[in-house]
Structure 1
Amino acid sequence: MNEKLLNNTACAMVAPGKGILAADESTGTIEKRFKSINIDNTEPNRQAYRDMLFTTAGAEAFISGAILFEETLFQSALDGTPFSKLLASKGVIPGIKVDKGAKPLAGAPGETVTEGLDGLRERLVKYREAGARFAKWRAVITIGNGIPSAYCIETNAHALARYAALCQEADVVPIVEPEVLMDADNTIEICEKVTSDTLQAVFDQLYLQRVLLEGMILKPNMVISGKKCPTQADVSTVAAATLRTLKHHVPSSVPGIAFLSGGQSDEVATAHLNAMNEMGGGPWALSFSYGRALQAPSLKAWGGKVDNVADAQRAFHHRAKMNSLASLGQYNDSLETVA
């Protein structure tokens, strides 16, 4: 592996004031998004939607990279320019989602393991030739009655590390994404315990499998109350608990942590990130790798209509700017006005 190249790319992905656009929704996931605005889930519509996001003027000041679905990596913009080249021309690093999704874990009812290691070495060569400079793999950890099990956590940690090692072999920076879901009724304390156990297992495996920590990005959940919990932790409590957990388990050699939004509302995800940076952050850059929390307002404004592209791009630019400010600890909810 080219250690200097991996480190340089990872550092660029979490450059000051910049974060990552997660535009890697699978065909099934984007169908749910499109249903919300009553448009068909066709390839031309998916192409037009991504084109709207990627051609937003000035967004590159706030967006360092974009995670793409495989279809998108090999698609072109509406003007015929391959999306990977369009992004690179704006200084935005193209990336690729490489996992094949979470599948039921044998012998562990209610738990999953992410698949996609078979053939990954060969696929990474193809993706890099197409312009991808980083990749993403998501592991899903569910909180519930008697779960997660140590078996589930260890199995997913092992797969994440195997993926990361294969990426670095191909000079592709791995985004390591262990997501503890926020869908249950658990307290923030339970989320902190499960997140701690998960991160410990992940970094144990990364060490054992010789992954270069300086050449990766961590994409974790924030430590947050479950959606169904009667008592929701406030912004400062979430920020403090998340920082505490990260400092206990994430080595300082990791260049950056780019949080997932995990179903939080747009402005709450921004406020949580800002609070962590206001509190001083940590030895790593603290940034964002948001999907829905960056895209939701622009998707609604777009509605699948060419006439709405300018409004949709303004909405996307605004959310990107707000999260950029949050990554610097300079966000204030009084700024939540789209010009």
Structure 2
Amino acid sequence: MGQFRMTDLRNIARRLVAGGKGLLAMDESNATCNKRFAAAGIPQTEDARRAYRELIITAPGLSETISGTILYDETIRQTKKDGTPFVKILVDSGIIPGVKVDVGAKDLAGHPGEKITEGLDGLRERLKGYFQMGARFAKWRAVIAVGDGIPSRGCIEANAQALARYASLCQETGLVPIVEPEVLMDGEHTQRQCRVVTEEVLHNVFDQLYAQRVMLEGMILKPNMVLAGLTCHRQDNLDEVAEATVECLLRVVPASVPGIAFLSGGQSGELASARLNAMNLLARSPKFRLPWALAFSFARAIQHPALDVWHGQDANVPAAQQALLHRAKCNLAALNGEYSAAMEKT
């Protein structure tokens, strides 16, 4: 990797988490997008998906809160109704285009209840194609379930190696890798169990990133917050979540990583913003000095209100965009430790 490209990777990674902005994940597969459309009574067609994505990327002032958008393979190839490529719209507004490159989590052979993310075959050529289309970063998601006897060492190590191989291929191609090892919220596990698993997963991920010679200054980590399972009898308060998450990350994430962009993982928009706010308040306290920026990389926690308002109707686009921008601005406030529940009534 040449010195010029290494500098490019560092600069892009810093831009993605700089200035108190975050990432908007709009990389849902067609199947997932169609499922959400069906629930909202919206036609499950390519044109409807295109119209919805146009609504998002043309929201006025989106670049004030969003530094980069994660697109899907279909989306990065789409255009506005007038023929303007989505990638051009994003670049012209100052938003960095990225793309999801894994092909989904599949059953891991010999490990009941566990998944391995696939998509390494042919990835080098696909990454080159995405770079030519204008993408400057990519994303790969691994999913780790917590339950009776899981996660296994085999599952953790297999996913960590896949993440590292993907990240190395990205940097070879000139793309900043978003490394996303997600410990799932599903289940009745405690916050303590989530923290133990998250630490083990991240230890393995960074061991593999080092083994695959990934330049840590040119990547972004996209982890889960340290949370109890959705069906756990005890749900921790905001301060408990913030402290457990920050302490966990300080133990395992090297200081050379420029930023951590949290996933929402199925949290409501309001709760994701509140927890992000609590972490950024903690980061400003004398107890902690964080070496990396804390940001967000939310999907449903930003998009969901807009989809509810839109309903597939052109007349609803302005109101849907305002709903989208409101959630983005709430998260911007959270990055500055200025979010409050009162903002939800504005």
Identity of aligned residues (%): 58
Following TM superposition, the consecutive aligned residue runs of length 4 or more in structure 1 with deviations greater than 6 angstroms are none
Q: 1:51 is paired with a residue of what secondary structure? A: helix
Summarize deviations over 1:168-202 as a string: whole Å, max 9, x none. Answer: 00010000000000010000000000001000000
CA contact (8 A) 1:16 1:327 kept: no
The CA deviation at 1:328 is: 1.7
CA displacement 1:40-61 (0-9 Å, x = unmatched): 2110000000000000001110
- The match for 1:313 is 321
**Separation in 2 of the partners of 1:59 and 1:332?**
21
Q: Is the contact made by 1:16 and 1:328 (CA closer than 8 Å) also made in structure 2?
A: no
Q: Which moved more, 1:73-82 or 1:177-186?
A: 73-82
Whether 2:290 is the aligned partner of 1:287: answer: no
**Which deviates further from its counterpart, 42-51 or 274-283?**
274-283
What CA distance in whole angstroms lies between the structure 2 residues aligned with 1:44 and 1:212?
39
> Given residue 82 of structure 1, which amino acid in structure 2 is its aligned partner?
P
Partner of 1:327: 335
Secondary structure in structure 2 of the residue aligned to 1:116: coil
Residue of structure 1 equivalent to 2:52: 49
SS in 2 for 1:36: helix
**Is the CA contact (8 Å cut-off) linking 1:219 and 1:257 kept in structure 2?**
yes
Name the counterpart of 1:150.
153
Deviations 1:1-48 (A, max 9, x none): 311000000000001220000000001111121122111211000000
Cα deviations by residue, 1:76-131 (Å, 9 ceiling, x for unpaired): 01221100111000000000000010011111111010000000000001000001
Alpha-carbon distance in 1 for matches of 2:256, 2:81: 40
Candidates 12, 15, 24, aligned match of 1:21? 24
Aligned to 2:164: 161
Other structure's SS at 1:279 match:
helix
Measure, in 1, the Cα distance between the counterparts of 2:179 and 2:172.
Answer: 15
**1:284 partner amino acid:** W
- The normalised TM-score by structure 1 is 0.99
- After TM superposition, the structure 1 = structure 2 runs for residues 91-106 of structure 1, keeping only pairs within 5 Å, are 91-106=94-109
Q: CA deviation at 1:308?
A: 0.3
Distance (Å, rounded) in 1 between the aligned partners of 2:294 and 2:55: 27
Partner of 1:78: 81
Give the superposition deviation at 1:65.
0.4
Equivalent position of 2:35 in the other structure:
32
List gaps (5 residues or longer) in structure 2. 285-289
Answer with 12-21 or 134-143: which moved more: 12-21
Structure 1, unaligned runs of 5 or more: none
How far, CA to CA, are the matches of 1:116 and 1:325 in structure 2? 36
Using the alignment, how far apart are the partners of 2:114 and 2:39 within structure 1? Answer: 28
What secondary structure, in the 3-state scheme, does the structure 2 residue paired with 1:336 have?
A: helix
Q: Equivalents in 1 of 2:171, 2:233: separation in Å?
A: 43
SS of residue paired to 2:82: coil
| TM-score w.r.t. length of structure 2 | 0.97
Equivalent residue in structure 1 for 2:72, among 66, 69, 72: 69
Q: RMSD of aligned C-alpha atoms? A: 0.8
Residues 1:180 and 2:183 are matched in the alignment: yes
Shift of 1:256: 0.3
CA distance in 1, matches of 2:53, 2:108: 33
Per-residue deviation, residues 183-235 of structure 1 (Å, max 9, x unmatched): 10000000000001000000000011100000000000000010000111111
Q: Please state if 1:301 is matched with 2:340.
A: no
| Count of residue correspondences | 338
SS of the residue corresponding to residue 230 of structure 1 reads coil
8 A Cα contact 1:278 1:329, kept in partner? yes
Structure 2: distance between partners of 1:17 and 1:324: 6
Q: Is residue 2:231 matched to residue 1:223?
A: no
